[in-house]
Amino acid sequence: MIERLLVAVLARGHILLEGLPGLAKTMAVSTMADVISGTFARLQFTPDLLPSDLTGTRIWRGSDETFDIEWGPVFANFLLTDEINRAPAKVQSALLEVMAERQVSIAGETRAMPSPFLVLATQNPVESEGVYTLPEAQRDRFLMKVVVGYPSPTEELEIVRRSGAAGVPQGLARLETVMTPDRLAELQDLSQRVYVDTGVAQYAVDLVMATREPEIRGLPELAPLIDFGVSPRATLGLIDAARALALMRGRGYALPQDVFDVARDVLRHRLMLTYEALADDRTADDILNRLLSVVPAADITMARADDAQIAPVRPIVPGEPLNAGSTDPTTDLSRLVANASNQSAATTGAPAVLDSSIPGRPTPASPAEIQSPEHPAP
């Protein structure tokens, strides 16, 4: 979960966390905002919430006999919307403009959101009492949807051990702010400079096309289960998330494996299933697992950089600062990953997702380890 939060932050995408109450979703999001200094606002969504409670409203000033605009609490770098699916449709539509346009309009006056701006939402499963289904348009605005499950017995025992005798998480004392919003913006720019080969982009397109026409991939049995495939925004989301994940893994180029690893989180909330699929208790993950097992990934030649048109700017040069007088921002990324991961481990008992002690998990990269296809590792 922490890794996916960092991916969304680097990719400038909003993220939706779904899980039952008590699984540290809110704690993880608020901790992320704490380690990245900046303004933070939390909105607890309830059935009686009004759009003006989010965005603001016009207020009559009797002393001046004029209307003033009182802007709402959404103007923050990190906006935590807790239990987002407990609010009615009017509130969801107001939040949609904030997420999509990154601005708020009241009485003909428009105010832009601060930069960076990220919506980090939590929700309970739709089977829970008193919740609404999010509109398709709003779900599509989230870069990723991460499903948070129960911890394992070992992790839960660690939660008990770390909770402390007084019931206060011991890890809170180790919380450290490691980054400014300006520094985060540099890292986000660095993520957009990660090289994406045409073969990697084609793999993302093939996955998206398979959700629209599964029969062309030899999966005709999935066609009756998919009402609508995912939109082109999903393709862009796959590329952006793969770039961010590649940067976190210490590379200046994306691989098909990066696309594969983020595919479920980027696509699951965008895939619309038929009534037959829902009646048969089929989930989006069931369909995506089948697609991912069939759609082949391109064989990428590591030293090739001749198809760089996907990258908006040139590939990263190892150790190169983003601007004059700046140190390589991946140093801050390493500190951010380590601090946020360890903080989550201390408060929830879950292991740090980028801890080198976990098999198969890479450690955060040092600046010297950043490589690109034009600068392959020796």
**What is the rounded distance in angstroms from the CA atom of residue 327 to the CA atom of residue 130?**
49
Give the angle 82-90-45 at the CA atoms, nearest 5°. Answer: 15
Q: Beta-carbon neighbour count of residue 348 at 10 Å?
A: 26
Contact 281, 225 (CB under 8 A): no
**What is the rounded distance in angstroms from the CA atom of residue 117 to the CA atom of residue 126?**
27
Domains and their CATH numbers in the chain: 194-315 (1.10.8.80)
**What is the rounded distance in angstroms from the CA atom of residue 42 to the CA atom of residue 28?**
13
Q: Which run of H or E residues covers position 81? A: strand 78-82
**What is the rounded distance in angstroms from the CA atom of residue 229 to the CA atom of residue 37?**
38
Contact 153, 283 (CB under 8 A): no
Q: Beta-carbon neighbour count of residue 291 at 10 Å?
A: 23
**What is the rounded distance in angstroms from the CA atom of residue 229 to the CA atom of residue 222?**
11
Residue type, 42: R
Contact 130, 1 (CB under 8 A): no
**Predicted confidence pLDDT, tens digits, the chain (378 residues):** 888 989 999 999 999 988 888 888 878 877 877 788 778 888 888 888 888 888 888 888 777 777 888 888 899 888 888 888 888 888 888 888 888 888 888 878 888 888 888 898 888 776 566 677 788 888 899 999 999 889 899 988 888 887 764 455 555 556 778 888 888 889 999 999 999 999 999 999 999 999 999 988 888 989 999 999 999 999 999 999 999 999 999 899 999 999 999 999 999 999 999 898 888 888 899 999 999 999 998 777 665 444 444 444 344 444 444 443 344 544 555 555 555 445 444 444 433 333 333 233 333 343 343 444 444 443
Q: Taking the model in full, what pTM does it have?
A: 0.76
Contact 298, 200 (CB under 8 A): yes
Largest pairwise CA distance in the chain? 73
